[in-house]
Structures are given as structure tokens and as C-alpha cells.
Structure 1
Amino acid sequence: MTAAAGSAAEGFEQAYGYAPEGVWAAPGRVNLIGEYTDVNEGHVLPIALPQCTRVAAAARTDGVLRLRSRRAEGTAELPLTALTPGAVQGWAAYPAGVAWALREAGLPVGGADVYVESDVPAGAGLSSSAALEVATALALTELHGAACGRPALARLAQRAENAFVGVPCGVMDQTASACCTAGHALHLDTRDLALRQLPFDLAAHGLRLLVVDTRVRHALADGAYAARRAGCEAAARALGVRALRDVPHEELEAALGRLADAALRPLVRHVVSEGERVREVTALLAAGEPRAAGPLLTAGHASLRDDFAVSCPELDLAVAVANGAGALGARMTGAGFGGSALALVEEGAADAVGEAVTAAFAAAGHRPPRVFAAVAGGGARRVPRGDLG
């Protein structure tokens, strides 16, 4: 963390010619279970990753937002008064959208010079965009003395992505990045933002959680994500409920029978059954039995693959091979169409599972995956000055 934060501060100074006022970090996330439940006002169960996006920043008094990134060429220089949805393209739309959303909410946020570094893999289904939004939001509010609690900050970061960038994501990613606690999974009710921190110390149980980044990149703005969200909303209207979370699991079959549009039935079946899986995994973690969650992860993948149709060959291969090599359970994580899978494994089998997946990708002619162990990290924070080197 020290070297990375120091690198962000150095990058800022090289970009702008003076030292930043501070560095703020926000993590990516892995969602254990609860995919597409957040856009249906349901429950989710993510953990924060150690990988973070770091924003080095300093306030400006002229109402201008200047944005630089280690991953991109050039500087975006944007007057805050000119920020409107659709006006900014590319990566800069995310931090610009945050500034817009904060100001639209009445928070006294002014201009800033911003420099961004990140080790959260982009497009891997690990919430790199949410990490950027939350780090930017925390930096801007603290630079300008704008009080904003973490759940509210997450909501505003989500609004930036929804209304400014144009991606109709739920609030899970931003809330996980803003609110997770190290060593815990976050049980989140996305309707009322009720939070519950559940102990998630897999090492104490002789377990590891492996993440398999397939390196198949997705773009959620391409319409597939939006189409599924729209389908869920249409199904909720047809069933006469506010959102699909309001369909009880024990009434799922009856609800499916009431849907005249057969194309909506698989969407409903996934969302309602996934909500039940979140409930069951939450109970297992609360009881100190994470090992028993494995089959629920695998069932979740089958539902995402067959009912929600958001998997891809690389994700299916990673899940199948991990399970065949001894994983307790595995599934895709994130919105799909590429990105990452996760596997719950016995600590002693972690290397064998990772090697089996890598070998299978090579045999299939896919790009080599990136496999790493995920440990539940903490949420967004300002980096202490002593850690800047």
C-alpha cells in the first residue's frame, strides 16, 4: 500500500508540477453470491479486494476539474459548470460524473486536479469503475469539506454511473467499495442499504477463495446488461410487485406460471433463486460454516449461464475445471460476458486448481488467465501521509 500510494503521489507531482493534498484509495470487489439481485432491490454478499484505485488530488478554486490517469494519455480539463450527462467520453466520464452527481445533490464540491492509478483489472468484473468513482467521491468531498456518509456517497457514485456515464448498474459495487470491512463479507440489502458485516476469515477454516480473471473484457454499456435489467423490470410489472425481490422463493413456480411472456421466466427464475442462495450463504457464514457454501456457488453459476445467459465459454471452462480439480464450488462473478470467476478451495488444493485452470485455457487456445487468491480487504479510505513515502 505504501509504495502504491507513494507512486500515485509521485504521478500527480509529475503531471501537475506540485504535490497533492492527499491520496484516497478505494478497492475493487468480488461478489461471493447475489448476481443481478442488486438491480432487483435484493440482497448481495460481496467482499472488498486488496487491489485498489488510488486518486491523488488537490483542490482548485477556479471551478475546473483536471483529470490525468496513468493508463491514458493526455489531460481532460473540464469546467464543472459544463458537466452534463453524455458530455464526457472514455475513462474521464467516471470521475467527471462523480463531480456532477455530488454537485447535483447540493454538496459544495469545487474544482480539483486529479491523478489516477489502479491495480484493479479493468473489465474483469471486479468493479474497477466503482473503485474509481468511490475514490474520486471521497477525495472531492474531503478536499472541499462536504460531509457525506458512506452509504450516501455510494448512492451518488452509482448515480454518476447510471445518469452520467449511461450504465444502469445497481448500487452493490459502489457500496462494497465504500463500506466493506477487512476480514468480513458485506451483506447488503440494496433496497434500504442496511449493512451487516459477516466474518470471512477463510484461512482460519483452511480455505482460500481463488479469482480467475479470464482476460475476456466486457463493456456493460453495449446494451446486454441494460436489456436484462429492463426484462426484470417488465417481469416485476407483470407480476404486480415493486421489484423481483418481492417474489417469495416458495412462490416462484406459481409466479412463473402467471407470466404470459415466456422470455421473462428465466430472468425471474434466476433472480428469485439467487436471492435464496444469498440467504443460505449468509446463514452459513454467520454460523461459521463457509465450506458448505461451495455447492451454492456452483448452482449460482448454472443459473447465470442457463437462465440469465450472461456467461461465456471461458467462464464456463474456468468453473468446470476448477470444480473438476477439487474446488468446493465455483461460479462467475460480476455482470458476465467475460470477466472473472471465483472458486472456493481447500488451502492445500489451491495451487492444483489454479494450475488445472491455466492448463485448460492453454489447451483450448484461450489467453492465459490471471489466478490469484482474494482476501477480504477494507473499504475506501484516505491514505495516511506516513504511507506516501
Structure 2
Amino acid sequence: MLGLNVLREEFEQRFGANGDKSRIFFAPGRVNLIGEHTDFTGGYVLPAALTYGTWAMVRRRSDRIVHLASTSFSGIAEFTTDEVVYRQEDGWANYPKGVLAEFKKLGLPLSGCDILFEGNIPKGAGLSSSASIEMVTAIAVKCLEGLELTSVDLTRLAQRAENQFVGVNCGIMDQFASGMGKAGHAILLKCDTLAYRYVPLSLGEYQLVITNSNKQRSLTESNYNQRRLECEEGIRVLQNYLLDFTCLGNVTVEQWRSVQGKVKTPEVRKRLEHIIRENDRTLVSTKALEAGNLQAFGDFMTQSHESLRDFYEVTGKELDALFEEARQVSGCIGTRMTGAGFGGCTVSLVHQEAIDDFKTQVSKRYEGRTGLIPEFYICDCGDGARNYRGGR
């Protein structure tokens, strides 16, 4: 993050200094440890909030005008709270605009504001920079307007913004992890009911290492929505054969074995194979983590990547190369892609004494295979969206 004085100087340069007090809010990105592409089908996920994220310096207005700017981009998106519409030319600003549009749908008062965003999440890396922007906007507007909304309410609102305004049919996981994170913990979340519990990340001598493939991807331009359509087709089939069917996230492995032959389209059958087994894998891996069995947890991470590669088919050559090279490093006991796929990051469980070797070996071999230079982030898990200077 820029120093507070530097951020304030840039804020006043963009929006002017009128003597009104500005406030700073923060919302983290997230890393998902296991449970990938299960959230939109009501399944289980195990994400954790990061200490990387998005800061927002905000000043309330009284004329219903909104100005949005970012330290990463030139220009200012300007509009009124009476007319919040998607515009392709606004690019990144459509994410906070979507949040404001959802507040408006609820009939809540919006007086207007100036917001300057500053973030340190790699763009397009699969660490939920979009959810971070949405959640920091949501908590800022809530606090500035004095609205009575819970943190869970804000996560739902932010998800709707991405679904309905931006056009990405994501599940609730990213916004929930960003809004509800707890330092030193992951969150086991059931995505249809939002039942959750915090899971201590007691990793001992091991450390989570995020590796950015630097293969950029855009969810709205990827096959993400196509995978959702394939899952929905499979759901329609299962509804005919499982009498107690409620959602795909509640289908057990045993039930799937009994009906998988009814799904005739090979691609659809593979998608369901991944999701149903990934749900089961998320539960058993959480038990292993809580029991302190890090080797078993690492094995489940590896199995998750293989399933995402072979059945859900969202990894690609870059993420597969990172996965394969990480596995060769002594001291790495688990690794997998994290996020939507099609580029982005892997997350690995690496012994502290092996981290330097891990970075050196993976970087050299990955660059040799792909021509890309990876970036590494030692992963600390922090709290969720909040007032940056003192709690929620």
C-alpha cells in the first residue's frame, strides 16, 4: 500500500481538497485451499482471506455524484446514484458500480462519494481482486451511509453485483472469504446455506506459498460460464433419478456411483465427477487439517488439482507446469491450482526450510517450459473487510 500521506495526496489531486474528512477501508483477496468450482452448486469450500487486498479512501458527498478512481489506472469514472449503468469503457470500475447498483435496488439512500482504490493483488491472478474491490466498496458505503447490514448481507450483495451487473456467474465463496475472513484461519463454508465454521491453520513448520503463473485470464472471456451450463445440464438429469435431490453440493459419492451412467454426455459426466468428489475431498481434507495431518491434507490438494485437470478441465498448460514442477521439490507436500483456472495461481504447502529452493527450482523449470516468469507470495491469512483504522 502507498503510505497514508501519499495516498491522501493522490486522493486530493484526483478529487480536490474541500476540508471534509476522508476514511480508509480495506478488503482482502482470498486463496482457496481446496473445494474448487463447488461453490455455485451449493457445495463446500475452504478459503482463507489474505493480507493482500484493496484499500479504499472514501469521502462522502451530498450531491448524489460518484467519482471512482484507482492508483493503477488513469482517469475517473463519474456518474450519479440516479443512473448506475454498466459501461464497457469503465473497465474495472464496473465492479464497484455494480455494488452501488445493488444498494440502489434495495431502495437504500446513496448520497454520493469520491473513492480512490489502491490494491496489491496481482490482477487476473485468481486471488479475487474483483471480490476485494466489491467488498471494500460495500463496507465503505455501509459505513458512510450508516446502513444496518450485516457482513453476510454485504457478501450476498457483492455476489449479486458480479453476477447481474458484471456478468460473471460466480458463486458466493470469493465475496464470503473477503468479507468474513479471520486471521490465522480458513473458513469451511457450505455455499447453499452459508453455514460456516473457522478452521485454524496450524501449519507448524510449513508455509502456504502462492505462485502466480503470470498467464492472465478474464472470467467473462473464459469457459467459466460454459462449465456452469454443463453442470446445470447434469443437474437436470440427476433430478430425474435422485428423489431427494436438493442441490449438487448435497449429492454423495455413493449416490453419484448409482446414477452416473444416466448422464450420457461425456463432458457433463466429467464435470459432475469432479464436483461431487471435490465436495467429499473438501470435508475429509478439513478433518485432516484439524487433526494436524498435514501430509494427508497435502495429498488431497494434489488430488484436487488432478481432478480439475482431468475432469473439470480448467487448468491449462501453465498451471499444470507449475503443479508438476512444484511436486518435484523436496519439502513441498501438496500443491494445486487455486481460483477459477485458465491461468492465475497455484497454492502449495512447503516446508519453511525449502521455500528458497522451491522458488528457485520452480521458477527456472517453469520459465523453461512456458517462457513465463512466475511470481511467489508467502501467504499470510488475515481478517475480512473492515475499517482500516480500527475494526469492523
Alignment TM-score > 0.5, same fold: yes
**Alpha-carbon distance in structure 2 between the residues aligned to 1:43 and 1:5:** 38
Structure 1 residues 113-132: aligned runs within 5 Å = 113-132=114-133
Structure 1 residues 33-48: aligned runs within 5 Å = 33-48=34-49
The Cα shift of 1:253 comes to 2.1
2:135 corresponding residue in structure 1: 134
1:302 corresponding residue in structure 2: 306
Task: Find the residue that maps to 1:384 and give its secondary structure.
Answer: coil
Q: In 2 relative to 1, CA 302–5 (structure 1 residues): closer, same or farther, beyond 3 Å?
A: farther
Query: In the alignment, does 2:362 pair up with 1:361?
Result: no
2:242 corresponding residue in structure 1: none
Query: In the alignment, does 2:285 pair up with 1:286?
Result: no
Query: Contact conserved, 1:29 with 1:49, CA < 8 A, in 2?
Result: yes
Task: Find the residue that maps to 2:47 and give its secondary structure.
Answer: strand
Query: In the alignment, does 2:33 pair up with 1:32?
Result: yes
The Cα shift of 1:250 comes to 1.9
CA deviations on 1:21-72 (whole Å, 9 max, x unpaired) are 2000000110000110001111100011111100110111111111111111
The Cα shift of 1:200 comes to 0.7
Aligned amino acid, residue 47 of structure 1: A
Q: In 2 relative to 1, CA 307–59 (structure 1 residues): closer, same or farther, beyond 3 Å?
A: same
1:78 corresponding residue in structure 2: 79
Aligned amino acid, residue 250 of structure 2: D
2:351 corresponding residue in structure 1: 346
Aligned amino acid, residue 349 of structure 1: A
**Alpha-carbon distance in structure 1 between the residues aligned to 2:369 and 2:232:** 38
2:329 corresponding residue in structure 1: 325
Aligned amino acid, residue 257 of structure 2: E
Query: Contact conserved, 1:5 with 1:23, CA < 8 A, in 2?
Result: no
Counterpart selection for 1:316 from 320, 324, 344: 320
Query: Contact conserved, 1:5 with 1:383, CA < 8 A, in 2?
Result: no
Aligned amino acid, residue 189 of structure 1: K
**Alpha-carbon distance in structure 2 between the residues aligned to 1:361 and 1:286:** 33
2:382 corresponding residue in structure 1: 377
Query: Contact conserved, 2:39 with 2:173, CA < 8 A, in 1?
Result: yes
Structure 1 residues 62-211: aligned runs within 5 Å = 62-85=63-86, 89-202=90-203, 205-211=204-210
Query: Contact conserved, 2:110 with 2:145, CA < 8 A, in 1?
Result: yes
Query: Contact conserved, 1:125 with 1:333, CA < 8 A, in 2?
Result: yes
Q: Unaligned regions of 5+ residues in structure 1, if any?
A: none
Task: Find the residue that maps to 1:177 and give its secondary structure.
Answer: helix
The Cα shift of 1:184 comes to 0.3
Q: In 2 relative to 1, CA 235–279 (structure 1 residues): closer, same or farther, beyond 3 Å?
A: same
Q: In 2 relative to 1, CA 12–20 (structure 1 residues): closer, same or farther, beyond 3 Å?
A: farther
CA deviations on 1:347-388 (whole Å, 9 max, x unpaired) are 2112211211101122224221001211111111111189xx
Q: In 2 relative to 1, CA 6–320 (structure 1 residues): closer, same or farther, beyond 3 Å?
A: farther
Aligned amino acid, residue 139 of structure 2: L
Task: Find the residue that maps to 2:136 and give its secondary structure.
Answer: helix
Of residues 150-159 and 108-117 in structure 1, the stretch that sits farther from structure 2 once superposed is 108-117
Query: Contact conserved, 2:25 with 2:140, CA < 8 A, in 1?
Result: yes
**Alpha-carbon distance in structure 2 between the residues aligned to 1:188 and 1:70:** 33
Query: In the alignment, does 2:223 pair up with 1:239?
Result: no
Task: Find the residue that maps to 2:300 and give its secondary structure.
Answer: helix
Aligned amino acid, residue 130 of structure 1: A
Q: In 2 relative to 1, CA 24–307 (structure 1 residues): closer, same or farther, beyond 3 Å?
A: same
- Count of residues in correspondence between the two structures: 383
CA deviations on 1:123-179 (whole Å, 9 max, x unpaired) are 000000000000011001100101211111001001011101111111100000000
**Alpha-carbon distance in structure 2 between the residues aligned to 1:219 and 1:91:** 12
Q: In 2 relative to 1, CA 86–168 (structure 1 residues): closer, same or farther, beyond 3 Å?
A: farther
The Cα shift of 1:232 comes to 0.8
Root-mean-square deviation over aligned CA pairs: 1.7
Query: Contact conserved, 2:58 with 2:116, CA < 8 A, in 1?
Result: yes
**Alpha-carbon distance in structure 2 between the residues aligned to 1:103 and 1:350:** 47
1:248 corresponding residue in structure 2: 252
Aligned amino acid, residue 42 of structure 1: G
Q: In 2 relative to 1, CA 180–385 (structure 1 residues): closer, same or farther, beyond 3 Å?
A: closer
**Alpha-carbon distance in structure 2 between the residues aligned to 1:261 and 1:312:** 22
2:218 corresponding residue in structure 1: 219
Query: Contact conserved, 2:363 with 2:374, CA < 8 A, in 1?
Result: yes
**Alpha-carbon distance in structure 1 between the residues aligned to 2:344 and 2:250:** 29
Task: Find the residue that maps to 1:147 and give its secondary structure.
Answer: coil
Task: Find the residue that maps to 1:307 and give its secondary structure.
Answer: helix
**Alpha-carbon distance in structure 2 between the residues aligned to 1:7 and 1:107:** 33
**Alpha-carbon distance in structure 2 between the residues aligned to 1:7 and 1:187:** 38
Task: Find the residue that maps to 1:328 and give its secondary structure.
Answer: strand
**Alpha-carbon distance in structure 1 between the residues aligned to 2:312 and 2:4:** 39
Query: Contact conserved, 1:236 with 1:244, CA < 8 A, in 2?
Result: yes
**Alpha-carbon distance in structure 2 between the residues aligned to 1:110 and 1:281:** 46
